[in-house]
Amino acid sequence: MKISVIVPVYNEKDTVTEILHRVTATNIPHEIVVVDDGSTDGSREILQNLEAKGDIPNLKVIYHPRNMGKGAAVRTALQHVTGDVIIIQDADLEYDPEHYPILLEPIRKGLADVVYGSRFLGAPRRPILFWNMVANKILTLITNILFNTILSDMETGYKVFRREVVQDMPLHARGFEFEPEFTAKVLKRGYRIFEVPIAFNPRTYEEGKKIRARDGIIAIWTLLKYRFVD
C-alpha cells in the first residue's frame, strides 16, 4: 500500500524542514507532495533548496503563484498524488507523523475508508487555546446533528483516506472550510469513518497559528450548505 502525504505550506520557514524529515523518518513507503501556497517568509526558498539537494526522498513540490488557502493547496496536491492512501499533514508540527501507523491501521484492516485523528479521545495534548477547543466542539456538534453521526473531532487536520474516496468528489474549498466540506461529503456518500486518538501540540497565535474566528463562521455555513447541496 503506497502512501501519499500531502503537505500544504504557507509561511512555515521555521518548521517545514523538520516536518518533512519527520515524515521521512516514519519509514512507511510514501511520496510527499508539498504545495507552497504563495509563501513570502522564505519557505519557498527552503523547499527549492531541499528539492535541489535531494535530501527528502520522493518529494514533489508545487508552487502556487500567490496565497490561495489551505483548501486550494490540498486540491492542487490531489491532482498530483499517486498513492493508494492519502494523508493530509500540516507543516506546523502540531501533528506528529509518528501517528501514521495507528492512522493507517483501520484502512489496512479493511475497517474504514477514512480515518480521522481525534484530539479529543484521551491522548496527550498541550492544554492551551480554550476558545479554539470550544469552537471545535461546537462545529463537531453541528456536524453530528446535521449528518446523524458521533464524531469527536470534525476539524482535525489529520484526515487519512483511500484515494478513490476523492476521485469523483467535487471539492471547492479554498481555505480552512476544506475540513467541513470534506467531512460533509464523506458522510453523505456513506464512507466508513474511523477515529483514532492522537497526541496534539497546538501552537499559539504568537507562534504562528493561522485559523481565526471568522473561519468558524465559514465552517458552519459550509456544513449547512453541503448538507443540502453537493
The structural domains of the chain, with segments of one domain joined by +, span: 3-228
Using the predicted structure, report yes or no on whether residue 60 has a pLDDT greater than 80: yes
Average pLDDT over residues 52-77: 95
What separation, in Å, do the N-terminal and C-terminal C-alpha atoms of the chain show?
Answer: 30
Record the cell numbers describing residue 210, joined without a space: 493561522
Split at pLDDT 50, 70, 90, the class of 200 is: confident
Q: Right CATH number for 3-228 from 2.40.30.10, 3.40.50.300, 3.90.550.10, 3.40.50.720? A: 3.90.550.10
Cα gap 121→197, rounded to integer Å: 5
Confidence (pLDDT) at 122: 74
pLDDT at res. 202 = 76
Matching residue, cell 487555546: 129
- Under 8 Å between Cβ of 5 and 33: yes
Model confidence band, residue 105 (pLDDT cutoffs 50, 70, 90): very high
User: Which regions of 23-139 does DSSP assign to beta strands (E)?
Assistant: 30-37, 59-64, 85-88, 114-118
Per-residue confidence at 207, pLDDT binned at 50, 70, 90?
A: low
Q: Do residues 41 and 118 lie in contact, with contact meaning Cβ atoms separated by under 8 Å?
A: no
Can you tell me the distance from the alpha carbon of 166 to that of 93, in angstroms, rounded to the nearest whole number? 26
pTM of the model: 0.93
Q: How far apart are CA 74 and CA 10, in angstroms?
A: 12
The length of the chain in residues reads: 230
Q: How far apart are CA 23 and CA 212, in angstroms?
A: 27
Residue 196, CA distances (Å) to 152, 182, 193 in order: 10, 18, 10
- Helix runs in 81-230, H state only: 100-108, 130-147, 163-167, 178-188, 213-228
